[in-house]
Structures are given as C-alpha cells and as structure tokens.
Amino acid sequence: MRVYIQRSVPVAIAVDGRTIKTRTRQETVADVLAQEAVALVGNDRVEPRGDVPVAGGMAIQVVRVKEAIAIEQDPIPFETAWQPDDSLELDQQRLNQEGIDGLTKRRVRVVYENGQEVSRVMEDEWVDHEPTTKVIAYGTNIVVRQLETSEGVLEYWRKIRMLATSYSAATCGKEPDDPHYGKTFLGWDMRKGIVAVDPRVINLRSQVYVPGYGLGVAGDTGGGVKGRHIDLGYDEDNLVLWYRWVDVYMLTPVPPESEIRWVLPNWPRERR
C-alpha cells in the first residue's frame, strides 16, 4: 500500500486593500480564491490567471475593475458684437443683449483598477446649448460743443479722458548726435505744442486742447504711448513734468467718418 502525503503550501492573496496569508492544498489559483471565499465580480481579474497551478509562496493579486460614466463640460465663450446707433451720442454705449456662454458636454467612460483610474475614453460629445452673443450699441451722433479757454472759445467734437505725461527732445531716449534727435514721427522739429498720441485713438495732425497745457497738434508717436495716453511735448527750457489724468478735447473740424474710431480702448484705466 502506498501512502501519499499532500502538504499544504503557503500563499498570499492581495485583495481589497488587505493581504490574506493562508495555506492551501488547492491545485489552481481559482481554487484558492474559492477556498478563501474571494469572489471575482464583473470585470475583476486575478494575477496570475485562475487556471495557473498553485506554487508554494505564491503571491496572488485580485484586481477590482470598475467602470463609470462621467459627464464633462466646457464653456463656449460668447462673442461680442458692436452695433452703431445714431440715437446715441458719440462715446455713449448701451447694452442691447447680455452675453451668455454656451456649453459643450462629453460622455467619458472611466476605468478604475483597485480604485485608481487607468483609462479614460470619450464616447461622444455634443453642444448642450449655443452661446448667446453680447450686443453693445455704440453712439455715432457727433455733437459739436464750445469750450471757453484762455485761448478763446474753442469748438470740439469729442472729449477723451486720458493719462497725460510729458517729454522733450532730451528725454525721448535719443542721443544728440542721433540724426533723428529732436525730430517727431512726422519729421517735425520738436517743440512745445506737439503731442505724441496713439494714432489708433487720435489721428495724426489732429488739433487738441489740453487744460493746463494749451493747444496742441498730434505730430508724434511713442513706443509707450498706447491707448488713452497722451505725451505732451515741450522745449528744453520750459519742460513741465506731467503724470495725471486730464480731459483732452478734440477740436473741429470733425474728420471723415472713415477716420473716426467709434469705440475707444479702455486702457490704461484711471484709478479713482
């Protein structure tokens, strides 16, 4: 008579965040899981595979696999449309329609293994609702007014709030031996009464009046003169330093409509 002795072997099962250390006489990995009442559900898997023979000291890992559907969304920024309105005076605006962002949605299938995300696949995408365009009306009605000044009564067609600074030939960044020293953008000799502007706001050669400075003509530009910024020109012997916000009056005649920037930039901003 032959006697066979089947000894149990140690194995370890990692499952659900814990480790089960046991001994078994089972033949396959699947049998060991059944012995310890560890069930695989849905897409769960075991490593090594369930049909792999058991060996002493084997480490078995149960991977819990779960899927979830996530809905992701991104805004669709609304656009802004500007509409001319001759019932509004120049530089007045009216909000005709509020802008509302649209929304794009995506359905995404997310796979988790032992609680950690391992894949994310977009299944479909759609526009939940389209954006609503913001509509702003801007005034095109130009009204010529009069202003009493030390220079006499002046007619102006636009008043712009601007940051005023000042400069002279010696402070504009060029050396005296530079061939362009003392020359403006238009090639004029620098002097008091010439101002530097952003041509996208004030047309070159425009006549302006600045309280505290006087009459000026837009005959120069500057790298730092952008938007609502005006640089007041001086001679070397009468330079006055400016850095303050002022009302700049655009004097008549009114330029052709094609040369008017109906909506001015709102920068720099005055701090109040």
pLDDT in tens, 234-256: 999 999 999 999 999 999 999 99
pLDDT band of 4, cuts 50, 70, 90: low
CA angle 208, 240, 201 (to 5 degrees): 30
Residue 148 has pLDDT above 90, yes or no: yes
Answer whether 136's CB lies under 8 Å from 93's CB. yes
Q: What is the mean pLDDT of residues 161-188?
A: 93
Percent of the chain at pLDDT > 90 equals: 93
Question: Partners of 135 in the beta sheet?
Answer: 81, 97
Residues 118-144 pLDDT 10s: 999 999 999 999 999 999 999 999 999
User: What does CATH list as the number for 142-259?
Assistant: 2.40.40.10
Domain ranges of the chain: 10-63, 67-138, 142-259
Total-model pTM = 0.76
Calculate the CA 198 to chain-centre distance.
Answer: 24
For range 263-272, the mean pLDDT: 92
Identify which of 120, 145, 238, 149 has the alpha carbon closest to the alpha carbon of residue 190.
Answer: 238
DSSP letter for 27, please.
S
Q: What is the overall mean pLDDT for the chain?
A: 96
Query: Is it the case that residue 91 has pLDDT exceeding 70?
Result: yes
Class of domain 67-138: mainly beta
Residue 172's pLDDT is what? Answer: 85
Specify whether the CB–CB gap between 196 and 202 falls below 8 A: no
Residue 177: what pLDDT?
Answer: 87
Give the confidence band of 5 by pLDDT, cuts at 50, 70, 90.
Answer: low
Q: Evaluate if residue 3 carries a pLDDT over 70.
A: no
Among 168, 151, 159, CA closest to 242: 168
Q: Same fold for the domain at 67-138 and the one at 142-259? A: no
